[in-house]
Amino acid sequence: MNKAAEVVIIGGGISGCSIAYNLAKKGVKDIIVVEKSFLASGSTGRCGAGIRMQWGTEQNCRLSKLSVEFFENANEELGYDRDIEFNQGGYLIVAGTEEENEQFKKNVELQNKLGIPSVYLTPKEAKEIIPHMDETKILGATFCEKDGHLNPFHTTEAYAKAAKRLGVEFLTFTEVTGIDTKCGRVIGVRTNKGYISTPIVVNAAGGYAKRIGEMAGIDIPVYAQRHQILVTEPVEPMQKPMYMGFSLNIYIQQTPHGSFIMGRGDDSEPTDLRITSSWQFLEEMAKTCCELLPPLRNLNIVRQWAGLYTMTEDAQPIYGAVEELEGFYLAVGFSGHGFMLAPATGLLMAETILGEETTIDISNLDIGRFKRNELVFESSVV
Amino acid sequence: MRIDNHPILDFKRGKEIRFIYDGKEMVGYEGDTIASALHAAGVRVLGYHHKTGRARGFYCAIGNCSSCLMTVNGKPNVRVCVEELKEGMVVETQRGKGELK
């Protein structure tokens, strides 16, 4: 297999598929998506798939609002013959410290100013939304009814099918082994199934983004950290919104099927691309969950799994071109919120690659910010 | 249906245990699981699929398959194939996925 393409996108997760769709929609021909396994096999298919607009920076609020509005109409927009299962049950974000509580009040003000319908709630009011919570463990909460969750496999498939109809080629089970450059420009991508000559490469490789960067001689300041999730047996629906706490370190939701899925962050998790499961996670997660939502202690755990967060120093993505290498673009380092930002990622990356003015300014999220020491901190992350 | 006489194996029968199954009084023996007592009493349908409503029976018998989930003493989703029978247990056929209280 030797091919030529206008654009090669490395990574068949939600970001890669969304970028491919948006480029194709803007009329770009000969787009190839290269995926080393199957679509959504990496972080996308392993993620919690929560979607929220409750953020602490204006930029994140805007990016996520654009994404939520897309998801609301995605079945029609993408012409999907099945259902991406966008379930807007809301997000209840709980404060565990006074500092967080104060920050949440400011966040709600910011969110409301930007048209995001979030509200601040007392612990008692929060308990009305999730009656099985122990409200004495929290100091306050914020709630946005338009937040929710999606089926990550269906959403990726919806993007991929729409992209295929627009002529995008998907090479699954094809692994990138090298990136060829000449005089500071990208000229081609080597894979285990053959060569693709191309002037433009988009790195949307999730946990493997750093390795892809190395192949092009670019040091991308990201690292892949393991994050784990466990799933319980299904019971009748009893919790509509996602329950999430940053200082309390938990996110937990009941899926449409009835199972609860939950995860937490842990700085001691390995960063060597491992996606094995650990008993430490099982123990800590169960403890946190039973303290905050006591009735759940009667549920059996069915299994657990892991995926990779691609972390940056400021927990914000890296978007855009790379100064040292023409034709090399990054959509990496989503730090655990790449799935929910995918509609924005696809649109803004397509605009960036085509040299158009971007719908939302993302110039501050370039790779250069780490050298310039202009990090963009966001406090609302697990 | 129980094996009372076996040419090679010897079965030591424990004492009788009374329990309630869907409102009916039943008898099992010490050492039974709930599922083995029900099976011996001729009960073949233990539950119904939450979506299709199809009958579900005794299947893996080792607590893996979830085919035998029943409500026991008010608690749903009990795998009766690995739950020991106790005197006075109230065992009910479960409809749906069970409510967590």
Do A8 and A132 belong together in one domain?
A: no
The reply to whether A99 falls in a domain is yes
The reply to whether B11 falls in a domain is no
A235 contact residues in B (CB cutoff 8 A): 76-77, 97-100
Q: CB under 8 Å to B44, separation ≥6 — which residues? A: B57, B58
- Do A137 and A130 meet the contact criterion of CB atoms below 8 Å apart? no
Query: Chain B closest CA to A257's CA: distance in Å?
Result: 10
**What total number of domains does chain B contain?**
1
Q: Is A294 on the interface with B (CB under 8 A)?
A: no
Is B99's CB within 8 Å of A258's CB?
A: no
- Do B70 and B92 meet the contact criterion of CB atoms below 8 Å apart? yes
Model confidence at A95: pLDDT above 80: yes
pLDDT tens digits, one per residue of B13-69: 889 999 999 999 999 999 999 999 999 999 999 999 988 999 999 999 999 999 999
Domain limits for position A95: 88-146+223-311
Is B77's CB within 8 Å of A236's CB?
A: no
Percentage of chain A modeled with pLDDT above 90: 97
Q: Is B64 on the interface with A (CB under 8 A)?
A: no
- What does pLDDT average to over chain A? 96
Query: Chain A closest CA to B27's CA: distance in Å?
Result: 28
Q: Tell me how long chain B is.
A: 101
Do A134 and A248 belong together in one domain?
A: yes
Between chain A and chain B, the number of residue pairs with CB atoms below 8 A apart is 27
- What does pLDDT average to over chain B? 94
Interface of B with A in 30-49 (CB under 8 A): none
A362 CB-contact burial (10 Å; exposed 0-12 / middle 13-18 / buried 19+): buried
Is B96's CB within 8 Å of A236's CB?
A: yes
Q: Is B24 on the interface with A (CB under 8 A)?
A: no
A135 falls in which pLDDT band (50, 70, 90)?
A: very high
Give CA–CA dist B77/B89, Å, rounded. 15
- Across the range A203-227, mean pLDDT stands at 98
* Residue whose pair of structure tokens reads 């390995």 in the numeric block: A270
Q: The domain spanning residue B35 has which CATH number? A: 3.10.20.440
- Give the ranges where A135-276 is alpha helix by DSSP (H): 152-165, 209-215
ipTM > 0.90, yes or no: no
Q: Which of A263, A282, A311 is the last residue of a domain?
A: A311
pLDDT tens digits, one per residue of A26-37: 999 999 999 999
Which token pair is A92? 């209840």
Which token pair is B25? 């009084």
* Residue whose pair of structure tokens reads 């842990």 in the numeric block: A266
Q: Is B66 on the interface with A (CB under 8 A)?
A: yes
B97 contact residues in A (CB cutoff 8 A): 234-236, 258
Please tell me the predicted confidence (pLDDT) of residue B101: 79
The reply to whether B37 falls in a domain is yes
Q: The domain spanning residue A327 has which CATH number? A: 3.50.50.60
Do A238 and A298 belong together in one domain?
A: yes
**What total number of domains does chain A contain?**
2
Model confidence at A379: pLDDT above 80: no
Q: Is A373 on the interface with B (CB under 8 A)?
A: no
Please tell me the predicted confidence (pLDDT) of residue A2: 86
Do A241 and A340 belong together in one domain?
A: no
Domain limits for position B55: 16-92
Please tell me the predicted confidence (pLDDT) of residue A124: 97
Q: Which residue of A has its CA nearest to B96?
A: A236
Going through A233-362 in order, the beta strands assigned E by DSSP cover: 242-245, 250-254, 260-263, 301-311, 318-322, 325-332
Do A300 and A210 belong together in one domain?
A: no
Work out the number of other CB atoms within 10 angstroms of the CB of residue A102: 13
Give CA–CA dist A273/A344, Å, rounded. 26
Please tell me the predicted confidence (pLDDT) of residue A113: 97
Q: Is B97 on the interface with A (CB under 8 A)?
A: yes
The reply to whether A80 falls in a domain is no
The reply to whether A248 falls in a domain is yes
Model confidence at A217: pLDDT above 90: yes
Do A305 and A338 belong together in one domain?
A: no
Do A246 and A337 belong together in one domain?
A: no
The reply to whether A83 falls in a domain is no
CA-based nearest residue to A222, from A316, A123, A337, A142: A316
Do A243 and A348 belong together in one domain?
A: no
pLDDT tens digits, one per residue of A100-111: 999 999 999 999
Q: Is B96 on the interface with A (CB under 8 A)?
A: yes
Model confidence at B80: pLDDT above 80: yes
Model confidence at B74: pLDDT above 80: yes
- Across the range A350-355, mean pLDDT stands at 98
Do A228 and A217 belong together in one domain?
A: no
Model confidence at B12: pLDDT above 90: no
Q: What three-state secondary structure class fits A237?
A: coil
Please tell me the predicted confidence (pLDDT) of residue A73: 97
Work out the number of other CB atoms within 10 angstroms of the CB of residue A187: 14
Do A262 and A281 belong together in one domain?
A: yes
A140 falls in which pLDDT band (50, 70, 90)?
A: very high
Please tell me the predicted confidence (pLDDT) of residue A375: 92
A1 falls in which pLDDT band (50, 70, 90)?
A: confident
Give CA–CA dist A300/B71, Å, rounded. 14
Do A206 and A321 belong together in one domain?
A: yes
Model confidence at A77: pLDDT above 90: yes
Do A304 and A235 belong together in one domain?
A: yes
The reply to whether A79 falls in a domain is no
Please tell me the predicted confidence (pLDDT) of residue B13: 87
